[in-house]
Amino acid sequence: MAQIKDVCNVHIAQCRPPVPAFRSSVWFKYAKVGYHYLISNTMCLLIVPFIGAALVQFDEHRTNMWDNLRFDILTGVLSFSLSVLLAMAYNMSRPRAVYLVNFSCYKPDPAWKCTKEMLLETCKQSCSISEENIGFMRRILERSGLGQDTYLPKALHRIPPNYGIAENRNDAQVIIFGTIDELLAKTRVEARDIGILVVNCSVFNPTPSLSAMIVNHYKLRGSVVCYNLSGMGCSAGLISIDLAKRLLQVHSNSYALVVSMESINTSYLGNERSMLISNSLFRAGGTAILLSNRSSDRRRSKYQLIHTIRTHTGSDDRSYKCVFQREDDSKRTSIALSKELMAVAGEALKANITTLGPLVLPISEQLLFLASFIARKVFKMNTKAYIPDFKLVFEHFCIHAGGRAVLDEVEKNLKLTEWHMEPSRMTLYRFGNTSSSSPWYELAYSEAKGRIRKGDRIWQIGFGSGFKCNSAVWKALGNIIPAEKNPWMDEISGFPVHVPKIVSMSESK
């Protein structure tokens, strides 16, 4: 990159007209610095003379009555100037509010639907997966919590699956462009008004990048700030939200477009069971979110972003390797899921809520948590750690639908009710594990049910390889009216559905 940059600079220098000699002088360099300093600190420089004059007048005329009057006037000017300075400092230091104007979730064409039987038949006809492991996949599917209407790209419906980079790129375009088109129509925002673009897709990383593909298709302006995140797993969607929030703090009056999707670009056809699990859980999906820091967008926005918390436990080898892309003995590549995944996810969640808790919990819950901590760590008492009641703070929970075991673990750790878990379980049932986009399908479910009221707080939780646990806290700015352009609207009356309890592996054999 450095060599390319040098070549470009040489080429540009050759194309420019000759630069006057004084521009390269030391005088010009310092004059330019002085100019920027003067413009950036104009208000302060205008106020300083008033402060100086007030101090001089105070020293010279403090005894005379008229001078005392002038002193009072100047003191008032001084007080006013200081108030203005403090107000400016406060406004400059206060974080900009970030609003979620709207979001869209992609609902694939019915031709993409893949029943459990279709998936098993495709794997069976590949002739490379043993009958014993086909039975293993069947048991996983029975226990997965997935329904019969989830989606996989049509290329994976073929026997054997035939999936190359052309099909992969085309499927990515269908998902990404479909969600963005719907979002722009909802918000009535022109593509040229987007100043920040953040895209995440863990597995499919073409060149040019997916963000470049979006810039090209929608003809975004040349100054757009682009990021393309890859390899960050199912929690990358909330990482993208956090990154967009940070960028909106330094780019005023801007729109940020966040796109989260996963390309299911291969079906593992080997016999390593830790890799076969991903065949059973992951499905196609994607979402697009429009964020804004414009105060004028507050009235039409759905939510305000309150907190983002990121937790990374990758310094521990067990956490780092529990979700790992690698080759099996036959040189087939896939993502292996470790048996320790649930334990690792539970530890990452506890680390995340330890950071989030003090920001959101009432003082009563914080004191109980502190007392439990002191009892265990200081007095070495054999008591369970106190789990704060987050139901006191949040009305809605959008927990990454990574699998039934993940949801069961979070439900147990946070002591949530079936009602709180319903959006996550129904998303897993209807759409499967759509990776980083799943918390948005869950929020769309709550909206379609008409549950979001003004002032409600929503907690989104994402888990991903590395291992990471990330949180985003949103506040509803108004009552959310169920909209037609929602992936759930044409079938929401049929939900929730009953999902049978987990049958143990030994019982299902």
For the annotated catalytic residues, the residue numbers are 234, 312, 396, 400, 433
Strand runs labelled E in 48-145: 98-105
Length of the chain equals 509
Give me 434's structure tokens: 């759509």
CA–centroid distance for 434 within its chain: 14
CA count, 13 A, side-chain hemisphere, 152: 25
Let me know: does 426 contact 495? Beta carbons within 8 Å.
yes
Tell me if residue 471 falls in helix, strand or coil: strand
Structure tokens at 13: 């220098």
Distances (CA, A) of 446 to 253, 274, 400, 422, 443: 30, 33, 14, 9, 5
- Look at residue 383 and give its three-state secondary structure: coil
Tokens in use for 27?
């005088």
Distance CA 237, CA 200 (A): 7
Tokens coding 508 = 């299902």
My answer on whether omega of the bond before 362 falls inside 30° of 0, hence cis, is no
Alpha helical stretches, state H, 16-41: 26-40
How far is Cα of residue 251 from the mean position of the Cα atoms in its chain? 19
DSSP letters, 388-455, are --GGGT-SEEEE--S-HHHHHHHHHHHT--HHHHHHHHHHHHHH-B-GGGHHHHHHHHHHHTT---TT
- Rounded CA-CA distance 421/399 in Å is 8
Q: How far, in Å, CA of 455 to CA of 445, rounded?
A: 18
Question: Cα–Cα distance between 306 and 100 in angstroms, integer?
Answer: 11
